[in-house]
């Protein structure tokens, strides 16, 4: 996610949303000021998580989300990395 996404509780809010939706994966801050997430689960839940990441918590300003499909890793739970 690009925008004002670090220092606004984005990762903690993402973990809470992931748990609510039942998706697995991780979220982390990157050195360039963006936030990176990997999400896996049921297609509709992953899509809902992607939609949420398009705006994030109310304290964030998301300007852009870049998404790529990756191999499923079989993660369980959602962690802040």
* 64 in active site: no
Taking each continuous run of H as one helix and of E as one strand, the counts in the chain are 2, 5
Please pick, among 11, 15, 20, 79, the residue that the annotation labels catalytic: 11
Please pick, among 15, 20, 28, 29, the residue that the annotation labels catalytic: 29
* 29 in active site: yes
Q: Among the residues of the chain, which ranges form H helices?
A: 10-21, 43-53
* Terminal C-alpha separation, the chain: 15
Q: Which residues are catalytic?
A: 11, 29
């Amino acid at each position: 996610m690009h925008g004002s996404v670090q220092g606004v509780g984005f990762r903690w809010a993402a973990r809470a949303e992931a748990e609510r939706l039942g998706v697995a994966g991780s979220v982390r801050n990157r050195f360039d000021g963006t936030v990176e997430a990997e999400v896996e689960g049921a297609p509709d839940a992953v899509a809902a998580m992607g939609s949420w990441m398009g705006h994030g918590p109310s304290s964030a300003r998301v300007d852009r989300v870049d998404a790529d499909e990756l191999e499923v890793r079989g993660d369980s739970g959602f962690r802040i990395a």
